[in-house]
Amino acid sequence: MRLLENIRVLDMTNVLSGPFATMHLALLGAEVIKVENPDGGDLARKLGNVPKLNQKLMGTSFLAQNANKKSITLNLKTEEGKEIFRKLVKTVDVLVENFRPTVMSRLGFSYETLCQINPKLIYCAISGFGQTGPDAFKPAYDQIIQGLSGVMAINGTEQLNPLRAGFPVCDTVGGMNAAFAIMAALYYREHTGEGQFIDIALLDSIMPLLGWVAANLLIGGQQPVLLGNDNFTAAPSGMFKTKDSYINIAANQQQQWEDLLDELGLPELKTDARFQERDTRKANRFLLTPLLETKLVHQPTSHWVDVLNRKGIPSGEVVSLEGALTSEQAQHRHVIENIETPGVGNIKIFNMTAKFSKTPAEITSPPPGLSEHTIEILTELGYREEDLGLFKEKNVI
């Protein structure tokens, strides 16, 4: 059995936050039916660094997060399309959309309307600011949320700030929050038989991830300090230069700090008043770093990683993205899997990273071509071949 076996999801999402959420449901075994506009489908189909794939409507951005899903096209502005959609809603457990608030209502498919059709429906709406509040109707992309959430304000150094995260962190965290909420709602429904409405905001979703930084301000009254690649909770804890590259060292505990000094041949710093205690080390971190680097630059990173980890001092190389994705550890954990995709070839995409002992998740089918499963799904709903031909003529599908 797969964890979400026999759960059917209607995926009306585009680009990143929504598809990221439904991808996790699909990897866990849910049947995810992606409802796309007949005119090009999900915008992500045209996004990516390979023009040939964009032209095929199989852009890398789409391929990255749509495995295990089915695709149907449906023009919801037509009466026939609306009727097909209503029939679909009767058959599903979950509906996920990431339109701006009221878009679904204007189409005639508000939660209140749909739960009359299917009282057990779990309806998850993902948007930049949520369904309510003074900013609810503003458009939003990941970078807009990064700026409004404080994420950009706390990154970088005095010379390079504000600074965005190097990937769409708000979109992906919003999608993960949605997947988590949907699982919780399914658990509730299992016990009560009741569906419900879930309101996910990207802005809300990212803010708790500021955790300790926010707590220092909200509880301790301390404004964030721009430390670049240093960790504000301890010192030495950050990135340091070696003979050939860089190393991350996190000597966060007193014993780790003292062991580090022994390994570097700097035992005299143990009794230096500037560095003896955790808080004084933090206050003098910019004096400490050059002293450590005078020793670190005599050996390559690989040497120090081996030496320090053997001593129980957390450390690691600062690797390239390619190095991270192809590492032995990532391969051992099956973080990335290969999947043969018609018209594209063999592609590498992320697998489910949670490892279940009894209900393992897996990639079972490639990202779908636009409308690949329209005939299959509509036939299942009872439509005949002549109906499908008429729908095509009217651009319903």
Percent over 70 (pLDDT), the chain: 100
The reply to whether 306 belongs to the active site is no
Buried b or exposed e, range 164-173, using 16+ CB within 10 angstroms: beeebbbbbb
User: Which pair of tokens denotes residue 122?
Assistant: 């779990």
pTM over 0.75: yes
Catalytic residue among 11, 142, 171, 230: 171
Tens of pLDDT along the chain (397 residues)?
Answer: 899 999 999 999 999 999 999 999 999 999 999 999 999 999 999 999 999 999 999 999 999 999 999 999 999 999 999 999 999 999 999 999 999 999 999 999 999 999 999 999 999 999 999 999 999 999 999 999 999 999 999 999 999 999 999 999 999 999 999 999 999 999 999 999 999 999 999 999 999 999 999 999 999 999 999 999 999 889 999 999 999 999 999 999 999 999 999 999 999 999 999 999 999 999 999 999 999 999 999 999 999 999 999 999 999 999 999 999 999 999 999 999 999 999 999 999 999 999 999 999 999 999 999 999 999 999 999 999 999 999 999 999 9
- Report yes or no: 214 and 142 within 8 Å, Cβ to Cβ: no
For residue 200, give the 3-state DSSP assignment: strand
User: Which pair of tokens denotes residue 207?
Assistant: 């803010």
Domains and CATH numbers, the chain: 8-209+333-393 (3.40.50.10540), 246-317 (3.30.1540.10)
How confident is the model over 276-306, as pLDDT tens digits? 999 999 999 999 999 999 999 999 999 999 9
How confident is the model over 146-179, as pLDDT tens digits? 999 999 999 999 999 999 999 999 999 999 999 9
What SS3 string covers 115-171? HHHCCCCEEEEEECCCCCCCCCCCCCCHHHHHHHHCHHHHCCCCCCCCCCCCCCHHH
Rounded Cα distance, 378 and 83, in Å: 11
> How many CB atoms lie under 10 A from the CB of residue 35?
24
How confident is the model over 69-98, as pLDDT tens digits? 999 999 999 999 999 999 999 999 999 999
How confident is the model over 101-124, as pLDDT tens digits? 999 999 999 999 999 999 999 999
What pLDDT was estimated at residue 159? 92
